[in-house]
Amino acid sequence: MTISIGCDHAGFPYKDAIKEMLKSKKMEVIDFGAHSESSVDYPDFAHPTATFVEEGLANLGILLCGSGNGVAMTANKHNGVRAALCWTKELAELARLHNNANMICIPVRFVTEEEALEMVRTFIDTNFEGGRHERRVNKIKLNC
């Protein structure tokens, strides 16, 4: 499995721990930055991370920023990307199970590093349930 990951300066402190956990699970991780806590603009990292998911070069994506909102809004501009803002493992599970989310957005200013790791583990280990949820997910994309 290939995972794309990106963050802004606020998300940087958790990124390496998440990458190490993913690599320990034998996953390929593509890191789009940021690479320090120096102030940056989140779209510069969210767009390439989401593009890899959009183009099928990554199975799933992870985005981290202070609130999670900016990266989620940015990622959701990409066709076929369903980026879910999650702050608990239960939301991460439901995002995959019911919404077939393919990106998780984590608000690092509101969760601990351990909670972030638990959310990522849950997100990756949960499969889409399909059924009645598939019909709903298929209605997300606009037909324009």
* Residue 36, domain CATH: 3.40.1400.10
Domain that holds residue 39: 2-138
Number of domains in the chain: 1
* Amino acid (1-letter code) at residue 75: A
Candidates 9, 86, 98, 105; catalytic one: 98
Number of CB atoms found within 10 A of residue 39's CB: 9
pLDDT value, residue 130: 85
pLDDT value, residue 42: 97
Say what the pTM is: 0.95
Q: Does residue 86 have an active-site annotation?
A: no
Q: Does residue 98 have an active-site annotation?
A: yes
Residue 65 falls inside a structural domain: yes
Mean pLDDT of the chain: 96
* pLDDT tens profile 11-69: 999 999 999 999 999 999 999 999 999 999 999 999 999 999 999 999 999 999 999 99
Whole-angstrom distance, CA of residue 58 vs CA of residue 16: 18
Residue 30 falls inside a structural domain: yes
Residue 104 falls inside a structural domain: yes
Residue 143 falls inside a structural domain: no
Candidates 7, 65, 86, 105; catalytic one: 65
Residue 144 falls inside a structural domain: no
